[in-house]
Amino acid sequence: MLMSKVNKGGRPFTEPSSLRSVRLPVRLWNLVYKASKDFRSVNEYFLSLVENDLIKRKMLKRSERKKLSSNNKNNSTKG
């Protein structure tokens, strides 16, 4: 991997992101955690939920969707 494609933390550069936090009741957080088991991470699960909603509202094109990791069992970019 070229060093120009790696950020200071050594992780591959993707697109700029904004750090936010979400406060959920423990009851809901546990359900989100269980529902996200088919995804690489809870963040990837939240990203898919938001992208799906924005596509449904015609605010985001399917072609603009972030490519999900290959570890994703439920690849929602197909279909």
* Domain assignment present for 11: no
* Domain assignment present for 34: yes
pLDDT over 90 at 35, yes or no = yes
Look at the chain and report how many structural domains it folds into.
Answer: 1
Note the pLDDT of residue 71.
Answer: 47
Among residues of the chain, what percentage have pLDDT more than 70? 68
For 43, the domain range is 23-63
Mean residue pLDDT of the chain comes to 80
Question: Contact 1/12 with Cβ under 8 angstroms?
Answer: yes
Using alpha carbons, list the distances in angstroms from residue 12 to 9, 23, 24, 33, 74. 9, 29, 30, 26, 24
Nearest to 36 by CA among 28, 44, 26: 44
Q: Which residue has the tokens 């970019």?
A: 77
* Domain assignment present for 37: yes
* Domain assignment present for 43: yes
- pLDDT digit string, tens, across residues 3-34: 566 666 666 667 787 888 889 999 999 999 99
Question: Contact 74/45 with Cβ under 8 angstroms?
Answer: no
